[in-house]
Amino acid sequence: MTIQIRKGKRATEPQCLGSQRSLNSEDLLFPNQTGDSKAAVYFQLSNGRFRPPPAHRLIAHHIVDTIAPIFFRVSRTMWLPLRLTLLLLFLLLSPRALLRSGSAAVVSGEEEEFHEELLLKPLPDRKVLAHFHFHSIAPPSKSNGRHHHLFPKAISQLVQKFRVKEMELSFTQGRWNYERWGGFDPISSNNAKPPGVELWAVFDVPEDQVDAYWKNLTNSLSGLFCASINFLESSTMYSAPKWSFRITPGRLRYGTLPREAVCTENLTPWLKLLPCRDKAGLAALLDRPSIYKGFYHSQRLYLTSNASVPAETVSGISLEQTLTVVLQPNSPSSSSIHSGESNFQPSWSLSSIFGRKISGKCVLAQSSIVYLQLEKSIFSEQKDNMDNGPNSLASEGFAGGSGFEMSLDPDIVIEEENQSQHKGSSVLYGFWVEKYNESQPFDLGLKWKYPVFWSSRQAPLHASRFLMGSGNERGAIAILFKSANSADSSSGSRHVSDGCELQVDVFQVVPWYIKVYYHSLQIFVDDEAKPIGDFVHKIQVSPSKDKTSPGMMEMLLKLPCDVRSAALTLEFDKGFLHIDEYPPDANQGYDIPSAVISFPSFHSVMHLLSNDSIRKSPLLSRFQEKNRVQSYTEVLLVPLTTPDFSMPYNVITITCTVFALFFGSLLNVLRRRVGEEERYLKAGKKKGWLRVLLSRLLAKLRGKPMEEPDQPSSESAPLIGKKLVLKVILVAVLAVAWQFYST
Amino acid sequence: MATANTEEEKSKSEQQKNHGGGGGFTRWAVLAVIFRLILIYFPGNLNLSSRPEVSTPLTSIRRLAEGYWLKQSSMSPYAGSMYHGSPLLLSVLGPLTVKRTILTYSVANAELKGSLVTFYADLISGILIRATGWKLQMTYRKSLKSLNLLNKSTDSGGLSSGDIAALVYLWNPFTIVACVGLSTSPVENLFTILTLYGAATGIAPLAAFGWVMATHLSLYPAILIIPVILLLGYGPDAPPSKLFRSKENGKVGDDTSSQDIIFSWGRVLHLLVWTSMWSVYVLVLCSISVKQHSSLQEMFQRTYGFILTVEDLSPNIGVLWYFFAEVFDFFRDFFLIVFHSNILFMILPLAIRLKHRPCFLAFVYIAISSMLKSYPSVGDPALYLGLLGLFLDELADMQFSFFLFCGYVGVSLLSPVMHNLWIWRGTGNANFYYATAMAYACFQIVLVVESVSSMLNHDRKLMKLSASKLQK
């Protein structure tokens, strides 16, 4: 699949995704036979900074590395000769390709772009955050048609087929620790995701078709990412938030799978979307054992396509792939030296965290930058600690002078201009990866000289959610907001007055078997029960329907700024399911997906001092976007009562026995006659024809001869015969009809 | 615990009834009222309103409050799967469930108002049962007198059957629990009793109103239309018509002029006209109250549809929930039809056999439907046990009555224990609770079968008596 995309223009385009793998090895071995060569694209894109011998080797190496595992998995022994042949072929081809690439670049004004960036950030609790950011852009174009140079074809097909306007898919393991790792900065607002899979998409189709498109999309994504996203197809699993999840309304669908296990089988398809996969560039750092060892791991895919394009042109798509990991650098040496100081930040380097080094950029990337983000407050503290630090804030002085030491000199230093609040602003050191190569790999290291303390900036309220009550019949969900920093909020920049209000959006989806009583909503502000109308500014509820749709609650709270704590409680009844609806591990319990808490009046935005390099960098421009501060609460685990799964036959038989007992005994009582009544029955015989018929039937059933002197017996014989014939005919007709209709 | 207490009270009251004199009724009725008020104003929360025995999806007051809340926040009360009751009940009981202010005092006040509604419903039901009993007894004695079968011994027994029935209804722990537990079943029961009262006293509009409302509220009373027609057509319960006929045969020898078996079509037509009027009225009221956010069709789907397709599988004292939680999906529709037709199949045989006793027929119908209904609660046995008291004289020689009494007591004590073990402690199993539900169903079956059988035996005895008298 990825081969196809990178190969560029091809005369015959296979439509089916699966059939693209039918590209056989002869195509590879004799590339000049299949129209444009593969190498052309590569040289065209890397023509800016072209260094012939290493780049050649690199490209060839890279292509061999990426293509070969797919096609030559079987023949490991053939590997070395093939590699050599390919290398030779590329070397032969390169002058021609170079010539052609120059002309191609002139023709198409806008090009597909690919950027790769990595942000490293030490966290206050001795961990390191690594945030990979890969950005692919396919501009809207008529000329390219369905062909792409760099952009993953699977994604562009997805966007075109399902008319996706905006989509975000995230796979997460672990919980983002909002208290320690920050809740206000762009990374925590955009990239901290709930455990499991979260998917939302905005479609560019009429409202009545959105559900159908959503279902198709989930199935395709499920196949694309090797995950059980197709479970989101069921209408009990997704919802349509109106205003609390995203500010921009639209034909939005939202679904989560809290229990999805995320592992390498999800990462590999995700990496396949990158032009260099994990063979070169920053993605080469992604050593599976080391990233899955971490405390938090979230891979995310966010795409937007510009809507309302004419039918013939292909819409432009911007694809943002991010991978956020929180890792614990293991530095036994430093801890043994400073054993007395447990708070000493560990020193680390890229190779110690990931076990790998970056050997140059991905040649297809337009930019490849590594950033190191440090809080400014570190320096101020250092200034306090040390007397000789008047000039330490000068950007050059950081690297060598004060509390830490970087193994490499930064190429650029970007400061965040944050006038209002001293706390939380940070400094970014940028490193150009393209300067490094295999012989001189990029291995950034950070060494702390002194113990430093700082804390990440918090969201105004820290939200957590928990269950109340015991037993399997009912319970209550509580969402607790705690003021992140009471001292800060009272004496800080926000002026505390009566009019000051803190807006909080709550968006919560509850599966249908948790039957929430929305009328039981209670609100406690500073541990006191308060009337709901005073704080709940707006509430929208779509209650759950059994086996049809989940319950969804959207709420806009307006709390006073000096609030210390606020709690919402909602009571619920636990539902009882049919035995087929229980999952295999029924006694483990059921997950209530995370609630989304956002603060519409707070925006996580970094005001960076404007620079040309910032404008070019997608990561930094993303940081500079105004996004509202958002956080996810915990996933709740609700145990549900189970019936006895081994009992269906017993239950059916016992219940039916009881019903039969009822029916039989009651009917028996009703039709029982005691001796005299028989005589009454016979005595009370009247001339009515129905009664005669009945008595005749009764007599026949009892096998007794009828005593009817006034009726001649000769008459009845043909009658019975006729009846018999009629009956036989009736049965035959019924049988024929049955046969006819049942087939 | 409360059940146990009231159970004792019941047995005590029954002892008292056996010995008590004529003034006993008012004393015991007032005591029942006071007992209820004590329980209602009891400061500690008995938490009966969330018991599975009291609140089924149809009768739960919490669900009603949720429906009212949805309606107040301009949504359909049937949005979501919470409320499945009538929109009229919603507009009457709904405002009482609202917690106007957050202070706990007024919360209690709102609940008090709700339970006062059920309290009044119970009180009126008791009075109506007593009046029905009086009416039944009077007409029955008259007809017996006309047959010369009245023996003096029945006169001397202190309380009349109507009084006893009313007391049984008022003192029944099931009724008390349903009343204090704020379920809507006392209201449904009230309308059922109103139907019987109206039919027994020959007030067709009242009977029609009661029947329409009861059917609207819980669907199953729909089958009561047959006893109501018979009641209005033939008049209240009487000995079999054959007796009158044979008596006249014996007297006059002419079988054409028999006064008592005239079926008065006029009253039945009257009833039907009133029924159609009331149902149109109720439907119009419903459509007015639901027209803003939903439709009548949705209402029928969410009320009757919910009852007929047993959608909610939460445990109750019936047998269907576990059955449909376990049965294979493929057979679900088949068994739904089978179980519902079990009620319908018994209608005709019973009506043929017991047409001379329409009130008893109504009792049997109510008992059967409360046994086989999808979401039974304790309010249903409360109703038919109360009505059972009306036929004390006829059912005097019923078999297994002590066994049944013990069975009911045992089940009502064991069932909460098993529920607690299964749901709250997790040490029990669903089968334990289901077993008590099965036992309860069996006891109900025995009760219905035995009462029908002893009523038929009673008729036989009467015939024998009249035959012997005629021979003399």
Write down the ipTM of this complex.
Answer: 0.88
pLDDT at B20: 43
| Phi–psi pair at B284, nearest 5 degrees | -65, -45
pLDDT at A328: 87
Q: Decide if B325 and A579 are in contact by the 8 Å CB cutoff.
A: yes
Strand-pair category, A474-483 with A565-574: antiparallel
Q: Decide if A577 and B325 are in contact by the 8 Å CB cutoff.
A: yes
Q: Which amino acid is at A642?
A: T
Our CA-based measurement puts residue B109 at a distance from the nearest CA of chain A, in whole angstroms, of 16
Statement: residue B57 has pLDDT above 60: yes
pLDDT at B111: 65
Tens of pLDDT, residues A252-302: 999 999 988 888 899 999 999 999 888 888 898 888 888 898 899 999 999
Q: Decide if A659 and B311 are in contact by the 8 Å CB cutoff.
A: no
Torsion of CA B454, B460, B465, B469, to 10 degrees: 160
DSSP state letters, A470-496: -SSSEEEEEEEEEES-HHHHHHSSSPP
Query: C-alpha angle with apex A142: A138 to A147, nearest 5 degrees?
Result: 55
Statement: residue B283 has pLDDT above 90: yes
CA–CA dist B257, A340 (Å, integer)? 117
Q: Nearest Cβ partner of A530 from B102, B314, B464?
A: B102
Q: Which of B256, B449, B454 to probe by mutation at the A interface, max A CB count within 10 Å?
A: B449
Query: What kind and span of H or E run contains A132?
Result: strand A128-138
Tens of pLDDT, residues A523-532: 999 888 888 8
Tens of pLDDT, residues A396-424: 444 444 677 888 888 888 887 765 554 56
Q: Which chain A residues in 482-541 lie under 8 Å from chain B, judged by CB atoms?
A: 512, 515, 517-520, 522, 529-532, 539, 541
Q: Which residues of B touch A512 (CB under 8 A)?
A: 81
Statement: residue A625 has pLDDT above 80: yes
Q: Nearest Cβ partner of A531 from B101, B372, B448?
A: B101
Q: Which chain A residues in 668-727 lie under 8 Å from chain B, judged by CB atoms?
A: 669-672, 674, 676-677, 680, 684
Statement: residue B201 has pLDDT above 70: yes
> Which pLDDT band, with edges at 50, 70 and 90, does B257 fall under?
very low
Beta strands per DSSP E along A575-664? 590-592, 596-604, 627-632, 636-638
Statement: residue A336 has pLDDT above 90: no
pLDDT at A706: 55
Q: Nearest Cβ partner of B448 from A651, A654, A666?
A: A666
Mean pLDDT of B311-334: 91
Statement: residue B416 has pLDDT above 90: yes
- Measured between CB atoms, does A73 come within 8 Å of chain B? no
Mean pLDDT of B43-48: 67
User: Between chain A and chain B, how many beta carbons pairs sit less than 8 Å apart?
Assistant: 154
Our CA-based measurement puts residue B312 at a distance from the nearest CA of chain A, in whole angstroms, of 8
Q: Nearest Cβ partner of A654 from B324, B329, B438?
A: B438
Cα A256 to the chain's mean position, in Å? 6
Q: Which residues of B touch A669 (CB under 8 A)?
A: 449, 452-453, 456
Q: Decide if B62 and A517 are in contact by the 8 Å CB cutoff.
A: yes
Our CA-based measurement puts residue A261 at a distance from the nearest CA of chain B, in whole angstroms, of 29
- Find, among A350, A420, A432, the residue nearest to A128 by Cα: A350
B427 half-sphere exposure, CB direction, 13 A CA radius? 5
Mean pLDDT of B158-164: 81
Q: Decide if B430 and A545 are in contact by the 8 Å CB cutoff.
A: no
**Total residue count of chain B as it appears in this document:** 472
Bigger pLDDT: A549 or A382?
A: A549
Q: Which residues of B touch A667 (CB under 8 A)?
A: 346, 349
pLDDT at A47: 37
Q: Nearest Cβ partner of B445 from A471, A529, A661?
A: A661
pLDDT at B221: 94
Mean pLDDT of B297-310: 92
pLDDT at A705: 60
Q: Which two tokens stand for residue B368?
A: 């059967």
Q: Decide if B323 and A542 are in contact by the 8 Å CB cutoff.
A: no
Contact A120, A130 (CB under 8 A): yes
Query: C-alpha angle with apex B62: B61 to B67, nearest 5 degrees?
Result: 95
- Measured between CB atoms, does A235 come within 8 Å of chain B? no
- The least confident of A303-312, B357-366, B437-446 is A303-312
pLDDT at A204: 86
Our CA-based measurement puts residue B195 at a distance from the nearest CA of chain A, in whole angstroms, of 25
Q: Which of B54, B64, B82, B353 to probe by mutation at the A interface, max A CB count within 10 Å?
A: B82
Q: Which residues of A touch B365 (CB under 8 A)?
A: none
Q: Which residues of B touch A541 (CB under 8 A)?
A: 70, 73, 75
Q: Which residues of A touch B434 (CB under 8 A)?
A: 651
Our CA-based measurement puts residue A526 at a distance from the nearest CA of chain B, in whole angstroms, of 15
Q: Which residues of B touch A518 (CB under 8 A)?
A: 66, 69-70
Q: Decide if B345 and A665 are in contact by the 8 Å CB cutoff.
A: no
pLDDT at B214: 94
Query: What kind and span of H or E run contains B95?
Result: helix B87-97
Statement: residue B366 has pLDDT above 70: yes
- Find, among A585, A66, A596, the residue nearest to A362 by Cα: A66
- The least confident of A531-545, A723-737, B30-44, B332-346 is B30-44
Tens of pLDDT, residues A52-77: 334 444 444 444 444 444 444 444 44
Statement: residue B73 has pLDDT above 90: no
Statement: residue B46 has pLDDT above 80: no
Query: What kind and span of H or E run contains A419?
Result: none
pLDDT at B44: 61
DSSP state letters, B69-85: HHHHTTS-TTSSSS--S
- pLDDT averaged over every residue in chain A: 76
Statement: residue A598 has pLDDT above 60: yes
Q: Decide if A531 and B242 are in contact by the 8 Å CB cutoff.
A: no
Mean pLDDT of B459-463: 86
Tens of pLDDT, residues B448-457: 999 999 999 9
> Which residue does chain B place closest to A551, by CA atoms?
B80
pLDDT at A206: 87
Query: C-alpha angle with apex A39: A36 to A42, nearest 5 degrees?
Result: 115
Our CA-based measurement puts residue B199 at a distance from the nearest CA of chain A, in whole angstroms, of 25
pLDDT at A704: 62
> Which residue does chain B place closest to A515, by CA atoms?
B82
Bigger pLDDT: B105 or A120?
A: A120
Q: Decide if A575 and B430 are in contact by the 8 Å CB cutoff.
A: no
Q: Which residues of A touch B327 (CB under 8 A)?
A: 648, 651-652
Q: What's the whole-model pTM score?
A: 0.80
Q: Is A342 exposed, middle or buried (0-12, 13-18, 19+ CB in 10 A)?
A: exposed
Q: Decide if A541 and B325 are in contact by the 8 Å CB cutoff.
A: no
Our CA-based measurement puts residue B453 at a distance from the nearest CA of chain A, in whole angstroms, of 6
In chain B, what percentage of residues exceed pLDDT 70?
86
